[in-house]
Amino acid sequence: GENVEQHPSTLSVQEGDSAVIKCTYSDSASNYFPWYKQELGKRPQLIIDIRSNVGEKKDQRIAVTLNKTAKHFSLHITETQPEDSAVYFCAASSQGGKLIFGQGTELSVKP
C-alpha cells in the first residue's frame, strides 16, 4: 500500500548548525508534499510544502527539495535555533487526495 518513510526518528544538533530530514514515498502518483511542525503539546502546523512540478522551495531558513525520479524529498533547516526544537512530519498526497504521513522526526536544538 501507500507508504511514507521518514528518517531519522531523532536528530540532535547544536544551535546554528543545519538539520536535514529525509522522506521517501511509494506512490508515484503523489503530487503534493507538505511538512508539518508539532511543538510539544501543540497541534501540527504546516511550515512548508512543495508540489510535484517544482524541485525546490525555500522560505527563509527552511527549504524543501523534491526528487520525483527517486521518490524522495527532504527538509533543510539552516542556522537552527532552540525554537526549532519540535517533531517534524513529512507527508505525501496519495490517490483520492488524502495525505499519508511519515513517522516523524524529533529535532532537538541544543543552545
| Joined grid coordinates for residue 3 | 507508504
Listed ranges 11-19, 58-66, 68-76, 90-98: which one lies at the site for other proteins (CB under 8 A): 90-98
Nearer to other proteins, 3 or 18 (CB): 3
Q: Report the C-alpha gap between 12 and 9 in whole angstroms.
A: 10
Range 25-54, binding other proteins (CB under 8 A): 29, 31-32, 34, 42-46, 49
Per DSSP, 96 falls in state T
**71, 76, 99, 108: residue in contact with other proteins (rule CB under 8 A):** 99
- 13 belongs to the binding site for other proteins (CB under 8 A): no
In order, the DSSP letters of 19-59 are: EEEEEEES-TT--EEEEEEE-TTS--EEEEEEETT-SEEEE
